[in-house]
Structure formats: C-alpha cells, structure tokens
A and B are shown apart, each in its own frame.
Chain A
C-alpha cells in the first residue's frame, strides 16, 4: 500500500469563515495537494470556475479536481454552488467531486445534500483525520453518475447490498431506455 501523491491535484475551497478557510488551505497543502484555490462564497467560486473554463491560463489551472464547500454562506451558499456545478451549462465539469462541509447535522439536511448531488458531507466541527477520510473516499470510491428526470449526480447507492427477496428493480444495463456513457 503506497501513500497518495496529491501533487497533481487541484482543489477549490469555498468557505466564508477566514479562520476555517486558512485551516483547510494549510491542511491540504501539508497533505501535499499541489494546487489549492480558495474563495469566499459560492458566487466567487462560480466566477472562478467560469474562468477555469474560459481562460485556464488566467485562472492558473486547467481543471478543478475536487470542490470542498461550506453550506451556509452569503449571498450564494454551498447548495446553490452545487446546483450550478451539476446543472449549469457554463459549469466546467458537471461531474466534479463535491464535498459539502456543514455544521448542520440533521439527517434531513444530509439527505438534501445527497439529493442535490454532493459526493460527501464533512460534518463540522471536523478533524484532520475526517478531511483525509473524505479525500480517500472521493479517490477510491468513484461512483457512476446517474441522470434521471429528477436527479443528476453520483449514484446514491453507495454499497451493493445483497437482496434476500425478489429483486423488483426493472431496469438493467440492457433495458430499453437505459443509456450507458463511458469515458
């Protein structure tokens, strides 16, 4: 088992609290992440991402590999940013892994984040170990993306659970109406 080399990674941090933002920037740099970008809130993050798409030279990077964003921010919060990334035509990468950081801990909030297409939720207050675990999960447990009438995001089934009764799921990869995109 070898250690990851994060040198080629580019991570965007979106956090309005100065203190937490510097903590996140520091931690990622120490863990070896090659490029760390930080923005104050969702609106600025959207501007940055547009720049990455339109003028990567000026943005300083060709792509963003992971977005880590706080939820509650003003004027544009983390959920609005996530929606923009997943659905907007100007988004440079609708599939980019998204870690939502939040002090909200109610299960319904976590479900809400999941249903909007967040890959991971990092609960505040967090530890360094928790940051590491989320990174590992993003890298190792890459899930397929699912696009249906009312959902676009990483597959919300994280595990393959054996079914001990009749499998009532109707669609398989070969069913009409199922399209597989590989790349």
Chain B
C-alpha cells in the first residue's frame, strides 16, 4: 500500500528494479557490453555438426512412428482421431528439429503435416493418404541426405508433395 497524505491508496502497480546480478556474475563489475567468445561459438557449431551426423538415424525412427500411426489409421478408422493426435505431436517435434541439423525440408514437410493434422471434425481417407505422402517425402529427404533446400531434388520432392495435397484436398 502506498500512502498519499496519510491516506492509504491501493497499489495499482509494483515495479521491481533489481541490480543486474547476472551481469555481475558473467562479466565482472567492469561494465560495458560483453560478447560470447568466437572460438566457443565455433566449437559449439562443430559439436552440432557432429551431432547432425546422427540426426538421420534419429529422425528415421520418428518417420517410422509416423508410418506406424498411418497404418493404424488405415486398419482401424474408428480410432483415427487419437492416431492423428499422435501424428500431430510427432510432426510438431520434427518441425522444431530438422532445420537445426541442416534439414530444413524436414522442418517444412513436418510443418505441413502438423498443420493439416491439427484435429478437426472429420478425418477422411484422403487425409490419411496425405499423411502417407508426407511420410514418403520425408523418407526421400533422409534416404537421399537432402540437405539445405536440396536444389533440384528438393524442388522435385516439394512439387510431388504439393501435387498430392492438391489431389487429396477436400477428399
């Protein structure tokens, strides 16, 4: 409660202004703006590149999970909604990873898969087919180690997927 001429006024806003302890911890009291050591950044990039070598194996297991969920959608259509939810979760994860490890096409295809599997009322056969088209496109990216935008191969994969989206749209 702040007071005004002896009268209590209810607090509308409280501002907390603390000294910058993090800066003291990381930069001493010298002042000025710090920077992150270039060598450390380069070394971290190198470590990332090393991890990126394992990324295709890691993501292949996720693609296999997607394929499995697709199979279930075909076998037991009455449970499609829960399978789609799982597909949606996996796609969300993949979207957030591909680009970091040099596979932006995985991020792009996962984004597309994530968008159209965000639960809606009816899950049609066409939508289930479209899951398959995305799985195939992702498999092709990983099998061919299609990094970056993938040049011609990448463009071709994108075109094929777009054609499938066009074909099954509204079906």
Contact = CB atoms under 8 A, between A and B. Distances in A.
B82 interface: no
A65 B16 contact: no
Name, among B20, B27, B30, B89, the residue most crowded by chain A CB atoms within 10 Å (CB to CB). Answer: B27
Contacts of B3: 176
A76 interface: no
A103 B96 contact: yes
A95 interface: yes
Interface in B112-145: none
A61 interface: no
Name, among A102, A128, A145, A178, the residue most crowded by chain B CB atoms within 10 Å (CB to CB). Answer: A128
Interface in A126-183: 126-129, 131-132, 135-136, 138-140, 142, 144-149, 171, 173, 175-183
Name, among A23, A126, A145, the residue most crowded by chain B CB atoms within 10 Å (CB to CB). Answer: A23
B90 to A, nearest CB: 11
A25 to B, nearest CB: 10
Given A1-B32, A1-B34, A19-B58, A30 B27 contact: no
Nearest to B45: A128
Contact of A171 (B4, B13, B32): B13
Contacts of A32: 37, 40
Contacts of B32: 1-2
A108 interface: no
A177 B30 CA distance: 36
B26 A142 contact: no
B148 to A, nearest CB: 13
Interface residues of B, number: 51
Interface stretch (B69-77, B97-105, B153-161): B97-105
Given A102-B96, A125-B99, A176-B4, A26 B18 contact: no
B97 A19 contact: yes
B44 A179 contact: no
A68 to B, nearest CB: 14
A132 B42 CA distance: 11
Contacts of B17: 144, 180-183
Contacts, number: 175
B93 interface: yes
Chain A, interface size: which category? 35 or more
A140 B97 contact: no
Contacts of A3: 34-37, 40
A123 to B, nearest CB: 9
Given A27-B47, A146-B13, A125 B27 contact: no
Interface in B3-56: 3-4, 9-20, 22-23, 25-28, 30, 32-37, 40-41, 43-45, 47-48, 51, 54-55
A139 B28 CA distance: 12
16 contacts: A1-B34, A2-B34, A2-B35, A9-B25, A19-B55, A26-B44, A72-B89, A124-B100, A128-B48, A129-B41, A147-B13, A148-B12, A173-B15, A177-B10, A179-B11, A181-B14
Interface of B: 2-4, 9-20, 22-23, 25-28, 30, 32-37, 40-41, 43-45, 47-48, 51, 54-55, 58, 89, 92-93, 95-101, 104, 107
